[in-house]
Amino acid sequence: MQAIKTFVKSTLVGGLLFLVPLMLLLMLLGKAMGLASKLAHALANGLHLVDSISVTLLTVLAIAIIVFVCFVAGLIALTRPGAKLAKWFEHSMLGAMPQY
């Protein structure tokens, strides 16, 4: 009986440790997609393309904006100040997480 209790407990904890970061990532991507969609819609409005542009194209533009921001962040991370910032973040914020 004790073995079953231990198995259920460790499986539940393992599931939580797997699902919580996944859900946080999905929430973050959802927020980023919402912001990028607003930016894409504003860009289409500024270029007077709202009537001729489809929702699919706006979504593709929003994804392209997210990819571009990730690329720029990667370029910044390659610089010396970016590397220092990443190292500081890793040690101060992520260092407090037990699984990290």
Please state the pTM of the whole predicted model. 0.59
Q: What is the pLDDT along the chain (100 residues), one digit of tens a residue?
A: 888 888 888 888 888 777 787 888 889 989 998 988 888 888 877 777 666 667 778 788 888 889 998 898 888 888 898 888 878 877 776 666 665 4
pLDDT of residue 44: 79
Q: Which residues contact 63 (CB under 8 A, 6 or more apart)?
A: 33, 36
**How confident is the model at residue 31, as a pLDDT?**
92
Q: How far apart are the first and last CA of the chain?
A: 33
